Structure formats: C-alpha cells, structure tokens
Amino acid sequence: MVNMKKIFVQSMTVALLSLSSQVIANTLKAIDYQSLPGNGVLLTFEHAEQVSQPSSFVTTSPGSIVIDLPDTQNATTESKTDVGLGFVDNVTAVQGKSRTRAIIKLLAARPYQVTTNKNNVVVTISGEASETAPVESIAVAEPTSITNIDFRRTETGAGRLEISLSSNEYAASIRKRNGGLTVNMAGVQIPEGWLKEFEVTDFATPVSLITTAETKNGSQFVISGAAFEPVTYQQEKQYIIEFKPAAVEEKQAKGEMKFEGEKLTLNFQDIEVRAVLQMLADFTNSNLVVSDSVKGGITLRLKDVPWDQALDIILRSKGLSMRRQDSVMFIAPSEEIAAREQQELEAELKKQTLEPIESELISVSYAKAATLSGLLKNKENKLMSERGNVTVDERTNTLLIQDTRKKIDEIRALVEKLDIPVRQVLIESRIVIATNDFARDLGVRLGASAPLRAGDQIINFSGNSASNTLSGEPGTVGNDDLLVNLGAANLSGGVANVVLGQLGSHLLRLELSAMQQEGRGEVVSSPRLLTSNQTKASIEQGLEVPYQSSAENGGTTVSFKEAKLKLEVTPQITPDDRVMMDLIISKDSLGAAVTGVSERPIDSRELKTTVLVKNGETVVLGGVFEKEESRSQGRIPFFGDLPYVGFMFKNEYIVDETNELLIFITPKILSDTVAFR
C-alpha cells in the first residue's frame, strides 16, 4: 500500500512537471543591446530554447514598444535594463502566468522591426523618424464577443464607457481623430443589436455621441463630443474608458486624488499583482515593500495614465492600501493595514499610561495664561493626555503643566505659536452734518376807509372788519383799517409803507413787506480709538435728556434718554495688511421743539456695516441726503389774478432746506514702535 502511494505521488509529480513544461516551455535568459549606425539600436532577447515569432505593439505619450513573449518565464537578474543608446532609454521585463512582457521605453517614436533567430528575439529600432508610425496590434487566438455596453456619469463629471466582453482575450487600440476618439477592438465581434448610435448628451459629460460599427478585424467605437482626455484600463472582462474634460485641470475632489506622475501604458492579461507592483517600482525607481498576503492576478489595460493613478486603480481593484514612510512604500490588504495601525495606536496608548509624569513651568508673555489653560483643558481638543493637568498662576501669568514629556513638548510648541504680540489698529472717523436753508416771504397790506351816512347814522367802512362799527361820528382811519391783509409773517426782513393818496375823508394806504432768510451750518464729530486686532472697542460722548411722564399714583416721574455720539468697531487684520472692520456708528442730537410738547425730540442717526479697507486709506461709509422744497401762495380770488395790480392781493412763501450726513473712516495698522497720543 505504501509503495502504491509512493508510485502515485511520483506519477503525479511527473505529470505536473510535464504540464508546467507545456505551459512555460521557454526561459528568457538575458537582454543584450548594441548601437547601430544612425542612432539605431539592436536589442537581443536571449532564450534557452528556440523561439517563435512574438506579438508586439507600440504606445505613445510616453513612446514605448511592447513585446509579448508567449510561454516564457523571466530568468534575468534584473527586471529593468538601462540602455541609454539612440532613442532607447531602458527595457523592463515583467513575467505573467504564461508569458513575459518586455517594455522598451523610447525617448521618441521610432520605426522598429521584430525578427527571430533560433533562440533569440531581435528588435531593430531605427534612429530616423518615419512618416508612418507603427500601428498598435496584438494577435488574438480566439474571437471574443461584446455582451453589454454601458455609459454613465461619474461623481467628478467625467464620462465612463464600460464594454463587457465574453473573455479577456482581445486587443484594443485608440486613436484621436478630428477632436474625437476611435477605439478598434481586434478579434471582437459585436452583435447586430449593438450596431447603432448612442446619444449620451443628457448625461452632461464631455461625450455627446457614441457610434458602433463592425470592421474586417473586429469592432469599432467612434466617440465624439467636447474636448476630453481619455483614460483606458481593463478589469477582467470589462474594457473601461473614462473621458475627463480637457479644459479643466484635475483638482482634488471629494474622495479623489490628484495624479501628477509620469504617464505610462500597461496592458496585461492575468498577470500577478506583485509583478505589476514591482514593475511600477522599477518605473519610478521607488523603494517598495509588499506584504506576503498580497496575492492573485489582475488583467488591466491602462493607456497614457500617470503612474500614481495606475497604482491607485490597482490598489482599489484588489482591496489594497498603501502607506508611505519617508521614501519607502508599503502595500498590503486594507484590513491588514487597518489592524496594524490599530495595534500601533494601542501600543502608543499603553506607552502613555506607563510613561512617567513630569512638571514644567511655561511663561506666557503676551496672551493670558487663563485663556490658554481653557484651551488646553478642552476635552474636544484632547491636547493633554488622560493623566495630564494644567494650573494657572495669574500673578506671574505662568502655566504649570503636568504630563508626559512628549505632551509637554507639544504644549510648549503650541504656546510659542499662540503667545505672540497682537497687532494694534488706530480707527479714525469723521461724522459731518451739513445744513443749508433758504426762506423768502413776500406780502402786501392794503388799507382803505371812508365814512358813509345812512339816514341819521354814520357808518365807518374800512378794511379791518373789527373796526366796522356804527357810530354817530365818522371814524378815523388807522393802521389796522386794512382792506387787504396779506403781509409777511416775519417783518424782520423789511417793510415798505406807502400812502397812495387821500381825497377828503377817503384814505388809500399800501404796505409792502418782505422777508428773506439764508443759513448754513456744519457739525463735525471726529471720534477715534486704538484697539487690538480682533478686539471690540467703543467710544461714546453725549448727554441724557430728561422726560416727564405720568405715574400710576397720579404724580409725575422723570426718565432720561441718551443722546450720544458713539463709535464701536471690531477690526481684523488680513494677511495682506488690510483691515476688515465691523462698525456701529451713531450720532444723536436734540431736535427742534414741537408745539404743545415741552420736551424736545432726539434726532437719531446710526450706521451698521462691515467693510474691508486698505491700511491708511479713507473710505466713505455712507450718508443721508435730505432736501425739502416748498412753495405756498395766498391770494384773494379774482383780484389776485388781475394784471398789473394782482400782486397787491397776493402773499408768497418759499422754503428750501438741505441736510446731509457723511461718515468717513480711516484705519491705520500701528507698528510696535508707534505710540498713540
């Protein structure tokens, strides 16, 4: 029985070895290179056994030639070979499950030729440019068909085209034409139901139209729309193209990184993840450590993408994460990294519980120690450890810190940043109240009197109805015996008294009166104050006006109302030495007396605003302009409309008043050597 088991194990070992030799029948031993005339380069890939014709294709931006060596394992000592001849920079060899891919990095696109010579694959790269660039191509063994086509909009506003295929054995080439993009998929069959135009304008992406067609070699996709930058990659049986707006720079969006690495092209089918990561490390000349738990293969196609974006795609597709320490990148499954970081945090917490407590005094020069103490004791900030404590000595403005040495050093560094002198701002303001008034009053007084006899009685008739009395004797004509009384209200302006004439006992008297008054006034208030940055300050001056009011017991009480000039400001100095100010300016004064009221009212003027002003500049915050114009006229009907003499039966009053309020503000940032006097 034992012998039978032994024979079975031996037979299985031989079978596996035989199968392995069938899958990987050849070995890449070395890569040699030599220069040719005219900046040409000859590359020789030496194998252990005779080789067949390999497939190849080229990429642009950056330019490279990709050689696929089927059924070949990589036995070279280094995966990257520096050439530095002609237009060839280096050669990178990466092994997959059943093949080895050689990537020849070029400094510029050049024609090439691939031939075989027994055990060698020879690549000849010309040193002269060709008008016709080689077309990207790769041999496909079995036909592949399209199973689904899907288009969607990403969170960043880019378009995403997903082409699902029946297998991962296919080749795709991309070309930009006439502002659009053409994707040729060799050996891929497209069903008749997918041969049509897809209108995708409603998705609000750079892509507007996708047209599918059938070609001799496979299928074709023609994408048109606004300017965009395509990014292609492959995930198992899905070929994905993302279209990002070309006019907009890639910005760090929500959950999205900003990629700025050198661009490369990757095209692998079922390659080991560790091999791809090793190739990226060689491409960027970076130090890389990969966890032993990173396993499995990946199929991807990335064309002209930054290397850090390619790394991010690989990590996300395989559930991996990366942590960088100095110049070393560590890659492991996300769960493993999370567990390791949790262990490190727990170890750090245990260390803090065992670390001895020290005491140290920290002197505070400009800030208040009590204020800093409240900041350190804040539980939300967690600036101190669980065993830490802080005490304030208000007399010396000193903090007494009790904590671990690490926390004390952190607190000291924080206090040094916060304990700095606060800059000061001088706020100068000017409040101007200008008044301008004009008044004119024109009037006429016309008097006449005459005695009339009516039977046995004498009637004295005059313009003053109060003197129209019956008497036995003729009355006398006085100044009040007026027929027309439309004189000026205020006779301080001037009076012209004219006696037109007297005939017997009849008297005619005319009196012209006029008043004109002009006045100008200006009240200027200029409060100013000095305050620290982001500190509210106010200054006020005025009086309190008493007011009497009735009490419940029937008596009177006296209350006072303020009539003040007040300036309240909170300045904030910006990094460019400008001043942002929150202002409240009020100007109260006693108003004109009101008829029937013993107390005078209060005229209130107030302004609230937030303004940004350059240092030393004056700005007009605002103002109130009031203008009052009035014209009134009194006349005697009919007589006032008579030509030439109508003025004797009129009175005209004109008033023109103007009030204007202007507020000026000037902030000045003071240096440490400037004093306010």
pLDDT tens across 351-400, in order?
Answer: 777 778 888 898 888 888 888 888 888 777 777 887 888 888 888 889 99
Question: Tell me, what's the pLDDT at 475?
Answer: 42
pLDDT band at 343 (very low <50, low <70, confident <90, very high): confident
pLDDT in tens, 394-439: 888 899 988 888 888 888 888 888 888 888 889 888 888 788 877 7
Please report, rounded to a whole number, the percentage of residues in the chain having pLDDT higher than 90: 1
Q: What is the side-by-side order of every strand in the sheet holding 556-573?
A: 537-550, 556-573, 578-590, 602-614
Q: Which residues pair with 644 in a beta bridge?
A: none
Question: Tell me, what's the pLDDT at 468?
Answer: 38
Question: Tell me, what's the pLDDT at 206?
Answer: 85
| Stretch 573-579: mean pLDDT | 87
Question: Tell me, what's the pLDDT at 92?
Answer: 87
pLDDT in tens, 605-633: 788 888 898 988 888 876 777 787 888 77
- Quote the CA–CA distance of 582 and 568 in Å, as a whole number: 8
Residue 9 pLDDT exceeds 50: no
Query: Which H/E stretch holds residue 14?
Result: helix 2-23
Residue 158 pLDDT exceeds 80: yes
Cα end-to-end span (Å), the chain: 112
* pTM for the full predicted model: 0.41
pLDDT band at 477 (very low <50, low <70, confident <90, very high): very low
pLDDT in tens, 27-36: 888 888 888 8
- Using a 10 angstrom Cβ sphere, with 0-12 exposed, 13-18 middle and 19 or more buried, the burial of residue 644 is exposed
Cis-peptide, bond into residue 62, ω within 30° of zero = yes
- What is the SS3 assignment for 87? coil
Q: Which residues pair with 350 in a beta bridge?
A: none
Average pLDDT over the chain reads 76
Question: Tell me, what's the pLDDT at 20?
Answer: 40
- Give 493 or 387, the one with higher predicted confidence: 387
- Give 642 or 391, the one with higher predicted confidence: 391
- Quote the CA–CA distance of 312 and 321 in Å, as a whole number: 9
- Quote the CA–CA distance of 181 and 89 in Å, as a whole number: 29
Residue 87 pLDDT exceeds 60: yes
Most confident of 129-143, 293-307, 445-459: 293-307
> 668 near 616, Cβ under 8 Å?
yes
Which of 37-41, 51-55, 254-258, 635-639 has the lowest average pLDDT?
254-258
pLDDT band at 451 (very low <50, low <70, confident <90, very high): low
Residues 405, 407, 409, 411, Cα dihedral to 10°? -150
Single-letter code of the amino acid located at 562 = E
Single-letter code of the amino acid located at 158 = A
Question: Tell me, what's the pLDDT at 135?
Answer: 38
Residue 640 pLDDT exceeds 60: yes
Question: Tell me, what's the pLDDT at 60?
Answer: 59
C-alpha distances out from residue 209 to 179, 196, 226, Å:
13, 11, 10
DSSP string of 325-359, one letter each residue: ETTEEEEEEHHHHHHHHHHHHHHHHHHHHHSPPEE
Please report, rounded to a whole number, the percentage of residues in the chain having pLDDT higher than 70: 76
pLDDT band at 485 (very low <50, low <70, confident <90, very high): low
> 43 near 125, Cβ under 8 Å?
yes
| Stretch 314-340: mean pLDDT | 87
